[in-house]
Amino acid sequence: MLAIGSARARPGVRRLREDRVALGAALALAVLALLALFGPWLSPFSYDALDWRHISVAPGLTAAHWLGTDPLGRDLYVRTLYGLRLSLLIGVLATAVSVGIGVAWGIIAGYVGGRTDSWMMRAVDVLYALPYLFVVIILATVFGRGSIVMLLIAIGAVGWLTMARVVRGQTLSLKRREFIEAARATGLGTPAILIRHIVPNVAGTVAVYATLTIPELITYESFLSFLGLGVQEPLASLGSLINSGARQMLTAPWMLLVPAAFLIALLLCFNLLGDGLRDALDPSGN
């Protein structure tokens, strides 16, 4: 948010402060992140330890396992928080990947213009037309099974399209402004103009779309793990926990409810925060 701390954006910051929903979402996200980071330490159990004396026990505050256990006796509290940690990590990193690609693609297409622009955006259009759910599945199955890095790339690779479009549009209008012309008049090269003048000016918009991209990519990751294509046992992600929970629905409904509640909270908070940021930056749109 520092990047948009210019005189023009200050009313935006004020609007955000007044947006109770967005603030609440930001607060809840902070709590979730803290839980993901430090929560597992509060429990004596590890995420893959089998406790044969407590198999499929229901949640209870006085029980040894606060949020219950699965049929192998693994502690659901610790596993869910580990899953939360992984989902957050992959969501944020994959967003960083797609922001990197999207911003670079968008500013180059927008600033260089002409035939380069039309070819680059044509490529984006073609990729947009593909069923991206399938592309992620193929990439993840083919390269990503078990490897978190490949999973990251597969998810990040499909998340950058909207970013590229938005950034290009912004760059097109920035390009004609006087200060860019002035920068060019002083003899600054194109790469320097892009990095020093264009990037800081699109940063606000990028921050908004990045906030909205994170939940989308978290959903992809969870979805892949739900299908068994993402994070592999004994590691857990929220998606794989929901999948095993759905199988045990009849005998141990908490196995579904606990990770589902965390995933729902996570996605809702990111979406509400992103909507709030967007409204703060551009109050005219709804």
Partner 1 sequence: MLGYAVRRIAGTVPTLLILVTLSFFVIRLAPGGPFDEERALSPQVRANLDHLYGFDRPLGVQYLRYLDGLAHGDFGVSYKLRDDSVAGLIAQGLPVSVTVGFAALVLAMLVGIPLGIWAALRRGGAIDYMVTGLATIAIALPTFVTGPLLALVFGLALRWLPVSGWQQGDPFYLVLPAVTLALPVCASIARMMRGSLLETLSASFVRTARARGLGPWRVLLRHALRPALLPVVSYLGPAATYVFTGSLVVETVFALPGTGRYLVQGALDRDYTLVMGMIILYGALTLLLNLAADLVYGWLDPRVRHE
Residues at the site binding partner 1, with contacts judged by CB under 8 A: 126, 129-131, 133-134, 137-139, 141-143, 215, 219, 222-223, 226-229, 239, 242-243, 245-246, 249-250, 253, 256-257, 260, 263-264, 267-268, 271-272, 275, 286
Least distance in angstroms from the C-beta of 197 to partner 1: 34
When the beta carbons of 160 and 223 are compared against partner 1, the nearer one is 223
When the beta carbons of 109 and 139 are compared against partner 1, the nearer one is 139
When the beta carbons of 49 and 130 are compared against partner 1, the nearer one is 130
110, exposed or middle or buried, with CB in 10 Å at 0-12, 13-18, 19+? Answer: buried
When the beta carbons of 36 and 252 are compared against partner 1, the nearer one is 252
Instruction: Fill in the DSSP letter of residue 73.
Output: -
Least distance in angstroms from the C-beta of 263 to partner 1: 6
Give the closest residue to 273 by CA, choosing from 94, 19, 95.
Answer: 19
Q: Which two tokens stand for residue 142?
A: 């083919």
Q: Can you tell me the distance from the alpha carbon of 164 to that of 152, in angstroms, rounded to the nearest whole number?
A: 19
Q: For the chain, how many helices (H) and strands (E)?
A: 12, 0
Least distance in angstroms from the C-beta of 276 to partner 1: 11
Least distance in angstroms from the C-beta of 275 to partner 1: 7
Least distance in angstroms from the C-beta of 259 to partner 1: 9
When the beta carbons of 110 and 245 are compared against partner 1, the nearer one is 245
Q: Which two tokens stand for residue 27?
A: 């607060």
Q: Can you tell me the distance from the alpha carbon of 21 to that of 251, in angstroms, rounded to the nearest whole number?
A: 37
Helix axes 10-18, 20-38, angle to 10 degrees: 80
